[in-house]
Amino acid sequence: MFGAIEAGGTKMVVAIGDEKGNILEQKEIPTTTPEETMPQILDFFKRDNVKAIGIGAFGPVCVDETSKDYGRIGKTPKLPWVNFSWKEAFEETGIPVAVDTDVNVAALGEVIYGSAKGLSDIIYITIGTGIGVGVYLGGKLQHGMMHPEAGHILLEKRADDHFEGNCPYHRNCFEGLASGPAIQARYGKPAALLTEIEEVWELEADYIAKAIMQYICCYSPKKVILGGGVMHVEKLFSMIREKTFKYMNGYITAKELDNIDEYIVPAGLKGEQGIKGALYLAEILNA
């Protein structure tokens, strides 16, 4: 048996599964403080013979396995969790843990079990409370000096958009212009109450397409997968594909772009990409 944690800012999803990615038991635990949340998580994993645990964590988090800070959360807006260490939290249990970002682990889940199964080069973009990008290139999750924070690339604002952006660091970055909170701040209503207003989604698709165009040029992925709460608005997909093709302007010739309906696709695991990716991370650690 393997354990998995999808650590989000609102809730922690914990699960136990097998080496085939089958989830046998799952539970949601509110994310409050480490003092309140961690005892419940540790108790969940005491009941089975778990060989390893994979963790997809909100960030920033240290994913350098050679660092003494491996698994430690950095300067997150979730202040009670600043400097919390996932590795140290499980030391007394004797269960080894593998830690990566939540969005990287979701990308891994899609590669092993979902829409990108078998592909060596993909990106997974989650658009919701924040915007994150999991980058999987050459058959490996990408880290570098920390890990990709591609939700914070700067975008050219459209001339008719007078919203300044709500990222406290960059304003007009992708997250600051197109995340769920950005939509609510721009229009004064949450995205769920704006689904019938076409101008909302035409602008949203425009910013998403501009970002994807840059990711295509930088990462050259063989597939782009879109997930997160905002992408529950299904009509966005056709708009994003059309605008991405327009912004590429014929610059790159590739068979993937010729079939853009199969190139920019929704997540394929019905919201389980993160927890399934974390299970696979545990399996790799145990191998």
pLDDT tens for residues 117-139? 999 999 999 999 889 999 999 99
The pLDDT assigned to 144 comes to 85
Q: What is the pLDDT of residues 209-246, one digit of tens each?
A: 999 999 999 999 999 999 999 999 999 999 999 999 99
Query: Residue 210 corresponds to which tokens in the numbers above?
Result: 């501009």
CB 46 within 8 A of CB 89: no
Ranges in the chain annotated CATH 3.30.420.40: 2-101+271-286, 115-266
* Low-confidence stretches of the chain (pLDDT beneath 50): none
CATH topology of domain 2-101+271-286: Nucleotidyltransferase; domain 5 (3.30.420)
C-alpha distances (whole Å) from 221 to each of 48, 175, 212, 267 are 39, 21, 10, 15
Angle at 285 between CA 279 and CA 14, to 5 degrees: 30
**What was the pLDDT predicted at 265?**
97
Tokens of residue 225, six digits: 């997968």
The pLDDT assigned to 68 comes to: 95
CATH match for 115-266 among 3.30.365.10, 3.10.180.10, 3.30.420.40, 3.40.50.40: 3.30.420.40
Q: How high is the pLDDT of residue 102?
A: 94
The rounded distance, in Å, linking the Cα atoms of 152 and 167 is 9
What pTM was estimated for this model as a whole?
Answer: 0.93
Query: Angle, nearest 10°, between helix axes 198-219 and 180-187?
Result: 140
